[in-house]
């Protein structure tokens, strides 16, 4: 998929003095090979790669600061790169420049189990963090499908299946270490669980997608592993039955840990990919956390709500391996769907609406997909009113891409008309810049632009993302 | 208590053209009388009043916008005023100007019970909101002691006794309507429960204390009223026993709704004020929300933890009137303490530390109070690691004030050394500006200043608060 901006092949190479200064810091950890640049010029979106001029592999906040300082002096763009799992073109080097790969910043800084906090370098992934916590009795709940880096998750305000119970990166980030656009190092907060001390710099950087500064360390909240966990799956005759079951569950205040919706297309795909035999109907996947008694109570209540909405085949998965099998399948949905149309790439979009409008928003969006004969699935973290549309397109077929983009644009307009947002958890990147304006209006966008200009006056921090200069 | 800044008596009066333009909008809702100006030039801090030159009583966002537009054109300061219950000098008119009293903006805009959201004008107080919600089965949990306005609560990032379970205004504000420094009206978010759509303007304004814009409408999350509530009170032989009981409760993940600590001085004061007979020892006050079964389970668990920490006199308050009596007493602690030293004013400060350091921080601060012979109490939302020191001082006795300020400064230094924050929920106002610098360091303060300059280039929005220009 092409994007109507300057292609990276047109970029001037980096100034020689910048390159040699970077080489003296990074030596073999600097690369200008085409393969490395191409790898870093793409994400999981359907955009064609846009290559940076060089990639450095940083191992410390000081190295990031030194790199940014040099790029700042030369007016050269800097793009942070975590795990490359973003979905809206976040890491593409629109104007070339230097990509800072943070994956080697993968050290834990501290686990304070007694305070339920952990501090990690930005390249630590969520799964790595949970491995590190394994024997502590604690866990970190935020789980976008991919094994994203904590820095990237903070930068895109990620959430995922557990957000309905535990919140998103917005609620779970206590503090960040950030390198500012002129290469200074700041700490945005402390390990205190709440604070009224001045402007909320943590929340300014959470969700800023590398456009205001580079996150190099992340301090997050942890949670005690629940005494008991159980999962359940059930099927519904229609999408609206499934969604209405969720709405009632939330409105009754059941403290459900996860509730995921898959439409019949999604179920079909994971059946094929993960060798499951789920009924190929709209499906909900639940998880309950709490005491033994509490989990049982929640589960019984939800089962009775589901029955009122014509659920069939309510099945329990209490053994860890059964739960894990279901959730692995859910997290593989993206890859499972790609296999439904070989050679395709996914245009994956999301939106989030007040929960009372969720059924209507999903149904209208499904109808639009059907009308346009998309190979698609709708999958959602429906407890939050958040759902995804994954459309398998041939990225080189302009008509196919245009159809998908039409579905996307109409979904966003629909969500905004319902007082929802153009993206619940994917972020803006390149792909939703116009939708952001549509959502917030010119005056609020002016405030965002004022913030960008104040924090990055030379426009070198991941330029061309979120808002136009 | 004096503050070493320009006194409002030195201010020039407002430009005649501004005054007449404001008069044409507000007519009798504009006042320049000394009594009204003095009332609006003070809060619950111990500062002497600093008077604005005029007070207008706004009834709509448009009136606020018109006022700010006029003041912007004339370079005159604008100070928003809600319920006047702030504690750190937030609303004092340091440089004169126009105070906008928002208490007549007390209309509900919308309650969306099915989505668990409500939108209210900024002058609606938390108690009013809960009265409006009474028959909906929902409630709004955030409760700083005072019956503060929602606008003021958002502006100071308020929290209170329920924050350990439900979060603070940071987590519970979905969207704001804000009048910017040049008089434009923006909406910072939607009613979607999560969003990754651009910079988090909502969180930029939450906690900005009127220095970046004026909040005129607030959209908050609501919660289903719990099926069951119970409260309990118990006493401990020492502060550290009480605090360690809380630490263990939190570390075990008990989803406690409230847990409040009162030292023996606080208990004495509320016994006198509310005619109670609580043992005059360190005390914890608990509240549990959930299903009948869940509440019982939590309460039994906490009772056994308390017993391990030598708790005595564990008493249940399951009847609403008994619960209400206890919590009313807790919320009256501030006034009860004032009566312990007639004619005194309270220097009320707070800090918040990682919970593992809480006992140490409280004990050292208590020792400091004792050493300085303060009339004081330490009271805390200890589940969050947040506590208050209330010191009754003669505001006109410089030595007395200096002693209290010494205790305050040492408490803040202690909290910061423990990776805590200089204020958990009171905010910065006038009183904690130096501590803010101490906490964040010059580089982070520079970013806050860049934000202030970008959003309020003429420095007219509540000038002289949070950070120095």
Nearest to B447 among A156, A192, A201 (CB): A201
For the stretch B438-456, pLDDT in tens is 999 999 999 999 999 999 9
Mean pLDDT of all residues in B129-153: 96
Residues in chain A within 8 Å Cβ distance of B455 = 447, 450-451
Q: What is the pLDDT of residue B1?
A: 57
B198 contacts A436? CB cut-off 8 A: yes
Which ranges of chain A have pLDDT less than 50?
4-11
If you ran DSSP here, which 8-state letter would residue B332 be given? T
Residues A384, B193: C-beta atoms closer than 8 Å: yes
Task: Flag if A190 and B156 touch (Cβ within 8 Å).
Answer: no
Confidence of residue B8 (pLDDT cuts 50, 70, 90): very low
> Which chain A residue has its CA at the smallest distance from B450's CA?
A454
- pLDDT at residue A317, rounded to an integer: 84
Q: CB–CB of A199 and B207 under 8 A?
A: yes
User: Given A186, A203, A250, which is nearest B203 (Cβ)?
Assistant: A203
Under an 8 A CB cutoff, do B352 and A193 touch? yes
Over residues B368-414, the pLDDT tens digits come to 999 999 999 999 999 999 999 999 999 889 999 999 999 999 999 99
Do A196 and B251 count as a contact with CB atoms less than 8 A apart?
Answer: no
B428–A251: do the CB atoms touch at under 8 Å? no
Contacts of B159 in chain A (CB under 8 A): 194
Report the gap between the CA of B243 and the closest CA in chain A (Å).
14
Q: What percent of chain B has pLDDT over 90?
A: 89
Predicted pLDDT at A12:
56
Model confidence at B157: pLDDT above 70: yes
- Predicted confidence at residue A272, as pLDDT, reads 94
Give CA–CA dist A157/A152, Å, rounded: 8
Contacts of A290 in chain B (CB under 8 A): 294
For residue B318, what pLDDT is reported?
79
Tell me how close the Cα of A183 comes to any Cα of chain B, in angstroms.
Answer: 11
Q: Taking residues B252-257, what's their average pLDDT?
A: 92
Distance from CA of A173 to the nearest CA of B (A): 12
| Average pLDDT in chain A | 94
Q: Which of A212, A155, A201 is nearest to A455 (CA)?
A: A212
Closest Cα in chain B to A432: B197
Partner-chain contact B355 A195, CB within 8 Å: no
Instruction: Express each pLDDT in B223-243 by its tens digit.
Output: 999 999 999 999 999 999 999
C-alpha distance from A170 to closest chain B C-alpha (Å) = 8
The pLDDT assigned to A320 comes to 87
From the CA of B190, how many Å to the nearest CA of chain A? 5
Q: What is the mean pLDDT of chain B?
A: 94
Pairwise CA distance, residues B278 & B260, whole Å: 14
CB atoms B198 and A440 under 8 Å: yes
- The tens digit of pLDDT for each residue in A287-341 reads 999 999 999 999 999 999 999 999 998 888 878 888 888 888 888 898 999 999 9
CA distance B34 to chain A (A): 31
Predicted confidence at residue B18, as pLDDT, reads: 97
Which residues of chain A lie closer than 8 angstroms to B435, CB-CB?
197
Segment B40-56 shows an average pLDDT of 94
What domains can you pick out in chain B, each with its CATH number? 8-101 (3.30.43.10), 108-224 (3.30.465.10), 228-334 (3.30.70.2190)
Q: If you average pLDDT over residues B286-299, what whole number do you get?
A: 93
Suggest the residue from A193, A229, A288 to mutate for an interface test with chain B (most B CBs closer than 10 A): A193
- In SS3 terms, B362-410 reads as HHHHHHHHHHCCCEEEEEEEHHHCEEEEEEEECCCCHHHHHHHHHHHHH
Contact assessment for residue A164 and residue A383, using Cβ atoms and an 8 Å cutoff: yes
pLDDT, position B4: 44
Q: How far is CA A271 from the centre of its chain?
A: 24
* Bridge partners, B81 (sequence order): B101
B428 with A297: Cβ contact below 8 A: no
Q: Pick A455's closest partner by Cβ from B185, B421, B447.
A: B447
Mean pLDDT, rounded, for B342-346: 91
3-state SS record for chain A: CCCCCCCHHHCCCCCHHHHHHHHHHHHHHEECCHHHHHHHCCCCCCCCCCCCCEEEECCCHHHHHHHHHHHHHHCCCEEEECCCCCCCCCCCCCCCCEEEECCCCCCEEEEEHHHCEEEEECCCEHHHHHHHHHHHCEECCCCCCCCCEHHHHHHCCCCCCCHHHHCCHHHHEEEEEEEECCCCEEECCCCCCCCCCCCCHHHHHCCCCCCCEEEEEEEEECEECCCEEEEEEEECCCHHHHHHHHHHHHHCCCCCCEEEEECHHHHHHHHHHHCCCCCCCCEEEEEEEECHHHHHHHHHHHHHHHHHCCCEEEEEECCHHHHHHHHHHHHCHHHHHHCCCCCCEEEEEEEECCHHHHHHHHHHHHHHHHHCCCEEEEEEEHHHCEEEEEEEECCCCHHHHHHHHHHHHHHHHHHHHCCCECCCCCCCCCCCHHHHHHHHHHHHHHHHHHHHHHHCCCCCECCCCCCCC
Contact B194 A416 (CB under 8 A): no
Which of B5-14, B142-151, B199-208 is predicted with the least confidence, judged by mean pLDDT?
B5-14
Q: With 70 as the cut, is the pLDDT of residue B250 above it?
A: yes
**Candidate from A444, A451, A466 with C-beta closest to B186:** A444
**Residue corresponding to tokens 């570390």:** B251
Distance from CA of B62 to the nearest CA of A (A): 15
């Amino acid at each position: 998929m092409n994007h109507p901006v300057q292609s990276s092949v047109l970029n001037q190479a980096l100034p020689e003095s910048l390159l040699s200064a970077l080489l003296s810091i990074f030596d073999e950890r600097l690369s200008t090979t085409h393969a490395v640049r191409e790898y870093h010029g793409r994400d999981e979106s359907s955009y064609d790669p846009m290559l940076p001029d060089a990639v450095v592999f940083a191992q410390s906040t000081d190295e990031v600061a030194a790199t940014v300082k040099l790029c700042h002096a030369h007016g050269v763009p800097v793009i942070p790169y975590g795990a490359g799992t973003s979905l809206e073109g976040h890491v593409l080097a629109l104007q070339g420049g230097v990509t800072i790969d943070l994956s080697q910043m993968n050290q834990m800084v501290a686990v304070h189990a007694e305070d339920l906090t952990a501090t990690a370098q930005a390249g630590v992934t969520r799964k790595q963090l949970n491995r590190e916590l394994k024997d502590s009795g604690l866990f970190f709940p935020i789980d976008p499908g991919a094994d994203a880096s904590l820095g990237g998750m903070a930068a895109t305000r990620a959430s995922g299946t557990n957000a309905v119970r535990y919140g998103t990166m917005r609620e779970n980030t206590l503090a960040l270490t950030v390198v500012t656009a002129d290469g200074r190092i700041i700490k945005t907060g402390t390990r205190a669980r709440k604070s009224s001390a001045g402007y909320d710099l943590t929340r300014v950087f959470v969700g800023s997608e590398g456009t205001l500064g580079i996150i190099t360390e992340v301090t997050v909240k942890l949670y005690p592993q629940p005494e008991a966990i159980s999962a359940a799956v059930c099927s519904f005759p229609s999408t609206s039955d499934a969604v209405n079951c969720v709405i009632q569950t939330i409105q009754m205040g059941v403290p459900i840990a996860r509730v995921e919706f898959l439409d019949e297309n999604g179920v079909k795909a994971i059946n094929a990919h993960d060798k499951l035999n789920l009924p190929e109907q709209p499906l909900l996947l639940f998880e309950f956390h709490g005491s033994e008694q509490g989990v049982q109570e929640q589960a019984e209540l939800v089962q009775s709500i589901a029955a009122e909405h014509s659920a069939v085949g309510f099945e329990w998965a209490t053994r860890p391996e059964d739960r894990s099998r279901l959730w692995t399948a859910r997290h593989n949905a993206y890859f499972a769907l790609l296999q439904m149309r070989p050679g395709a790439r996914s245009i994956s979009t999301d939106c989030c609406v007040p929960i009372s409008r969720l059924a209507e928003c999903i149904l209208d969006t499904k109808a639009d997909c059907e009308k346009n004969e998309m190979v698609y699935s709708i999958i959602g973290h429906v407890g939050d009113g958040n759902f995804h549309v994954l459309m398998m397109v041939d990225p080189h077929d302009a008509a196919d891409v245009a159809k998908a983009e039409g579905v996307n644009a109409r979904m966003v307009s629909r969500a905004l008309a319902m007082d929802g947002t153009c993206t619940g958890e994917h972020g803006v990147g390149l792909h939703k810049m116009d939708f952001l304006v549509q959502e917030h209006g010119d005056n609020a966008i002016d405030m965002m632009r004022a913030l960008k200009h104040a924090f990055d006056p030379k426009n070198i921090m991941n330029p061309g993302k979120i808002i136009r200069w």
